[in-house]
Structure 1
Amino acid sequence: MSDHLTVVDHPLVQHKLTIMRKKETSTSEFRQLLREISQLLAYEVTRELPMTTRSIETPMQEMDAPALAGPKLALVSILRAGNGLLDGMLELIPSARVGFVGLYRDEETLKPVQYYFKVPTQIDKRLVIAVDPMLATGNSSVAAIDMLKEAGAKDIRFLCLLAAPEGVARMKEAHPDVPIVTAALDERLNEKGYIVPGLGDAGDRMFGTK
C-alpha cells in the first residue's frame, strides 16, 4: 500500500455509510451496519498481505495452493469506538491477534490521555492494523501510533470509517509511513473537533450513550 490515503468507494460501503450517517438510524442498526462495513474495509486494508504456498490435497489431486505467510496479523482497537470495527474484522480474520489502546479526549485541550495499553507479543514481526471509526483532529490516532511504534511495531496501517482533512494531514505529518484506509473523506472539523457532515459521536451511536 503506497498511497497515504485510500478511500474505499465500493457501492456497498457507500450505501451502508449513508444509512449510518442518518440521525434517525437506531443504535442496533448502526451497530449492525458498522459490523458489515468493517468487513468490507478489512477486505481492502488486507489486500497486500504476504503470501506463500503450501501443499494440500484436494478430492482430485495434490497441489501447491496459496496461503497467508508470516505471523498472524494484529488488530489493535483504539478504545472505545474501535471495538465496533474490531468485531466485524475478527469475523473475517478470526486468527488475528488483538490489542487495545485506551485513550480519551480531554474536552478542554482536545488532547488524548492514555489509560490502557496492551498489544500482542512479537508486535515487531506482525502487520498491525489500528482501527478507530473517526479520524478527526488526528491527535488520538497519532498518539496511538506513537505507542505502537514504541512497543516495536514496524508495519502499521490505520483503518477508519470517516476521516477529516485535518486528521489526514496530521497523521501524514507525524506518521508518513502509515497508510490510511477509510470509507469517506469528509468536509472539515467543526469548532468542537467533530467531523462535518460526519455521523456524530461513533461511540455514543454504537453503544447508545450520550
Structure 2
Amino acid sequence: MDGVTVIDHPLVQHKLTIMRDKETSTASFRRLLREISTLLCYEVTRNLDLTTKQIETPLATIDSPTLEGKKLVFASILRAGNGLLEGMLDLVPAARVAHIGLYRDHDTLQPVEYYFKAPENLADRLIIVVDPMLATANSAIAAIDKLKERGARNIRFLCLLAAPEGLERFCSSHPDVPVFTAAIDNQLNEKGYIVPGLGDAGDRMYGTK
C-alpha cells in the first residue's frame, strides 16, 4: 500500500511476538513496548534532514552532521500512545511533546476528544503521531485533523499494529501522511479490535480492563 512502511526488523518482530502472547505480564508488556518503540523511532526518523556544524574534536576541526530545523514533536494519542512515547523520548530526549486525548465510544466506535495540548509553531516542525493500534483509524484521523487545524503540515503516523480496514480509511483521509507500523494484521472483529492483534494495548500496558 502506497505510503505505508512495515518495519520488519528481526528484533521488532521478536519483541512483537512476545507482546502478542496473552500470558505476557503487564510489567513485561510495558517494558517491551518501550523497547520496541525505540526501534520503531529509529526507522520513522531515518530520513530526517541534516545540515553541518563546525566542531572541534580532540584532534581536529571538522564540519559534522547535525539535525536541521526546529525540534521534532512527538504527538501521543492518549492513553496508550504514551507507551510508545516514552521509548521514543529515550532516543530523542530534546523532542517536544503533544498530547491528544481521545477515547473510543464502544457503541459507535467514534472518537471523543477530551484533551489537546501541543507546542507552538507546528507548521515549522515534523510531527510524529504515535498510537500502538491503528484499528478503525477513527482516533488517528481525528488526531491528524486536529493537528492540521493547528497548522501542522509535516506529519508521520507510527503504530505497532494496523488493520487493513484502518489503513485504507486512514490513507484515504490523509494521503499526505505516511504510516509506519510493525505489522499489518488480518482484519477487525465486530467490536473493532485488530485480529489476531494483542488485545487492548492500554489495558495490557496499565493492567486495567
Distance in 2 (alpha carbons) for counterparts of 1:121 and 1:52: 23
**2:45 is the alignment partner of 1:30:** no
How many angstroms apart in 2 are the aligned matches of 1:122 and 1:73? Answer: 11
Equivalences, count: 209
Tell me the amino acid that sits aligned with residue 56 of structure 1: I
1:3: how far off?
4.6
Which residue in 1 is equivalent to 2:181?
Answer: 182
d(CA) in 1 for partners of 2:200, 2:99: 20
Deviation at 1:123, TM superposition (A): 0.6
Match of residue 7 from structure 2:
8
Where does structure 1 differ by over 4 angstroms across 4 or more consecutive aligned residues?
Answer: none
Q: Corresponding residue for 2:206? A: 207
Q: Note if 1:43 corresponds to 2:53.
A: no
2:53 paired residue number: 54
- 1:34-58 superposed Cα distances (whole Å, 9 cap, x missing partner): 0000000000000111100000001
Q: In structure 1, what is the Cα distance between the partners aligned to 2:4 and 2:128?
A: 14
Percent identity, aligned pairs only, is 70
CA distance in structure 1 between the aligned counterparts of 2:54 and 2:167, rounded to whole angstroms: 43
Residue aligning to 1:154? 153
Look up the SS of the partner of 1:209 in the other structure.
coil
Q: Deviations over 1:150-177 (max 9, x none)?
A: 0100000000000000110011110000
Paired residue type of 1:74: V
Q: Which runs of 5+ in 1 are unaligned?
A: none
Q: How does 1:42-121 map to 2 (within 5 A)?
A: 42-121=41-120
Shift of 1:133: 0.1
- CA offset at residue 33 of structure 1? 0.3
1:90 & 1:108 partners in 2: Cα distance? Answer: 34
Distance in structure 2 (CA, Å) of the matches to 1:19 and 1:108: 31
Deviations 1:9-39 (A, max 9, x none): 0000000000000000000000000000000
Taking the aligned partners of 2:96 and 2:48, their CA distance within structure 1 comes to 15
Amino acid at match of 2:123: D
Cα deviation digits, residues 110-143 of structure 1 (max 9, x gap): 0000000011111110000000000000011000
- Counterpart CA distance in 1 for 2:183 and 2:149 is 29
Deviation at 1:71, TM superposition (A): 0.2
Q: Distance in 2 between matches of 1:109 and 1:208?
A: 25
- The two structures have a TM-score, normalised by structure 2, of 0.99
1:142 match: 141
Instruction: Tell me the TM-score normalised to structure 1 length.
Output: 0.98
Partners in 1 of 2:118 and 2:166 — Cα distance? Answer: 24
Q: Give the CA deviation at 1:199.
A: 0.1
Cα RMSD, aligned residues only: 0.9
Deviation of 1:203 after TM superposition, in Å, equals 0.1
Unaligned runs of 5+ in 2: none
